[in-house]
Amino acid sequence: MNLPWTEGVQVTQRYGSPGGTGLPASIEAAWGLRARPVKGPRPGLSLERIVNAAMAVAASEGLGGVSMGRVAKDLGASTMSLYRYVAAKDELYVLMQEAAMGPPPPLSALEEAAGWREALARWAWAQRGVFHRNLWMLRIPIAGPPASPHSVAWWEQGLQALEGTGLEPDEEVSVIRLVCGFVRSEALLMSDLGAAVEARGVPAQEVTEGYARTMNRLVDPVRHPALSRLMASDVMRARDDPGREFRFGLERVLDGVDVLIRAREAG
């Protein structure tokens, strides 16, 4: 993953300069506010190499496998040498997330959409794709609002999708949070289910069919009439379209937003 803003950068302080952004120095470097050319030969370490190594560990072992010591070992460096570039593991998480997220969909993709609903749907699907390609991101604790360049750019694109809807600023923020929450929740659920299936070592179809057989034995038509009707249908059969549930849920979320927008227009 190429991080152009890390070229020749060494981070030596945990926090930004007095009167500055108040962000950790490594995040200021991501914004290009704290780049200091390194004198002499190019060092063996760089922020880019550190972030890439941490992402590789997360991809193979999950976020829990990432530690400053482990990353340093994979890079053939000392743990203390990493602290010249990033001051703490939570900052490393932010930089990993920044690299994995990448920039949001081009603004042209939103401008070509047929209205706010399609634009916001494209934005949500793109965000889902990022999560599904980097499931370890879902385990990063949410410590505050977006503050890194790519995360702010995603936030900006989401808000631009709502331009012209007549919503108040606080309502726009709430809509973005609602959609983001749905995207994250669905990706987390699919990640957990996928991990459970993988742990069993059998195809998803077999897991689904096994669950259906178990429920058919347990469900009593008298005590569980609704579940009995459900089990009698084919709804428990594994679906060929893995995005079906996401599509259904997102449409229902956008239905609610549409009601709000129409109410504002009527008002």
Residue pair 148/94 in contact by the 8 Å Cβ criterion: yes
pTM: 0.80
Cα separation, 163 vs 115, whole angstroms:
10
Residue of higher predicted confidence among 169 and 210: 169
Average pLDDT on 177-191 reads 93
Q: Does domain 107-201+237-266 fall into CATH 1.10.357.10?
A: yes
Average pLDDT on 33-59 reads 75
pLDDT of residue 153: 94
Say yes or no to pLDDT of 35 above 70: no
The token duo for 127 is 């965000």
pLDDT of residue 143: 78
- Residue 18 pLDDT level (bands cut at 50, 70, 90): very low
For the stretch 133-149, pLDDT in tens is 999 999 998 877 888 89
pLDDT of residue 112: 76
Buried b (16+ CB within 10 A) or exposed e, 57-88: bbeeeebeebebeebbeebebeeeebeebbbe
For the stretch 113-122, pLDDT in tens is 789 999 999 9
For the stretch 59-107, pLDDT in tens is 999 999 999 999 999 999 999 999 989 988 999 999 999 999 999 988 7
The token duo for 228 is 């009995």
- Residue 13 pLDDT level (bands cut at 50, 70, 90): very low
Residues of the chain with CATH 1.10.357.10: 107-201+237-266
Residue partners of 264: CB distance under 8 A and separation at least 6: 165, 166, 167, 168, 171
Say yes or no to pLDDT of 196 above 90: no
Q: Does domain 4-101 fall into CATH 3.30.230.10?
A: no
Residue of higher predicted confidence among 167 and 190: 167
The string of DSSP codes covering the chain is ---GGGTT-----SBPPTTS--SBHHHHHHTTSS--PPPSSPPS--HHHHHHHHHHHHHHH-GGG--HHHHHHHHTS-HHHHTTT-SSHHHHHHHHHHHHH---S-HHHHHTSSSHHHHHHHHHHHHHHHHHH-GGGGGS---SS--SHHHHHHHHHHHHHTTTS---HHHHHHHHHHHHHHHHHHHHHHHHHHHHHHHHTS-HHHHHHHHHHHHHHH--TTT-HHHHHHHHTTTTSPPS-TTHHHHHHHHHHHHHHHHHHHHHHH-
- Residue 16 pLDDT level (bands cut at 50, 70, 90): very low
pLDDT of residue 73: 95
- Residue 262 pLDDT level (bands cut at 50, 70, 90): very high
Residues of the chain with CATH 1.10.10.60: 4-101
pLDDT of residue 17: 44
Cα separation, 168 vs 149, whole angstroms:
25
